[in-house]
Amino acid sequence: MKPKSRSLTSKLLLAAILLGMVAALWGATKKIDYTWRWNRVPQYFLYHAEQLHKVPFDGQVAGITTKGGDAVIAITGDNGESRKVTVAAESLRVDEGDLLFEGDNLGASFTWKAGPLTTGLWTTLWISFVSGILGMILGLVTGLCRISKNEALKGLAITYIELIRGTPLLVQIFIFYFFLGTVLDLSRMVAGIGALAIFSGAYVAEIIRAGIQSIPRGQTEAARSLGMTVPQAMIHIILPQAFKRTLPPLAGQFISLIKDSSLVSVIAITDLTKSGREVITSTFATFEIWFTVAGLYLVMTFALSQLIGWMERRLAISD
């Protein structure tokens, strides 16, 4: 069989498998008699918020002018004070000359606001970003200590790595929030980011250690023969090469960090996962929201993997 024919056959097979999975999912939902309500999902990303405008004092409507879709209400108070209030024309509740009392409804204005899924997505993004940066710094320092000749630094690094890698992240979040957070008076956001950073740092440390040790020892000796100190050789010769080699596993670790960040919802941080649960509580659109949340996590991780792939190609060209 020719290569083109094999490629076409493989693509057709892939399409058939994907269609079969979609059909199986559809059939499963039909069996449980579930009504899909995808039309309700967009409002949880962006919605038209209504803001009611109340009369600030007793008075009278002196005049109403229309500007486009807005109505400007001129109010004259019994005490001589005057004020203008802008509402949407369609929501206007008063007429010119009406007597008003404090607290009466004049109308409403509408503005676009971010929904809970959008705010949860933003929280997940910046928590992952901050904890990833802190984890990278902590991992680099720990990785260098891990290969240090100083037994105290090496022992501390090994203890930290084994302790963090040997316990579940969920347990670490609970300990960090309920114990350290209480002792150090930390907010839940700081506790969540700290737990994720410490967890990520342990894995990054082992990746960095492996990358440094993969560089031939002769390069360090050559750098020393040129008059470089050990720190200079590490910064200018070893670490740049180690970074290129460790980029794929580092990418995998940061992709996992984005997904692991969903666990901070257990300490009441309103990330994407918790926002999804809150929406489901009020709408009962279980499948639609969870599929949407899963899709958003997929978009984030896919975008990061594409960025890392682009960096790998750029670094390969620079070699």
Provide the pLDDT confidence category of residue 299 given band limits of 50, 70 and 90: very high
Give tens-digit pLDDT for 14-66.
899 999 998 887 777 777 777 778 888 889 998 888 888 888 888 888 888 88
The predicted structure's pLDDT at residue 292: 94
Give tens-digit pLDDT for 81-103.
888 888 888 888 888 888 888 88
- How much is the pTM? 0.82
Give tens-digit pLDDT for 266-293.
998 999 999 999 999 888 888 899 999 9
The predicted structure's pLDDT at residue 78: 79
- If one compares 247 and 296, the residue with the highest pLDDT of the two is 296
Provide the pLDDT confidence category of residue 1 given band limits of 50, 70 and 90: low
Walk me through the domains of the chain, giving residue ranges and CATH numbers.
47-113 (2.40.50.100), 116-305 (1.10.3720.10)
pLDDT, the chain, mean: 87
> Whose structure tokens read 């000796």?
221
The predicted structure's pLDDT at residue 255: 93
Most confident of the following: 8-12, 54-58, 303-307: 303-307
Is 313's pLDDT higher than 70? yes
The predicted structure's pLDDT at residue 104: 86
Is 163's pLDDT higher than 90? yes
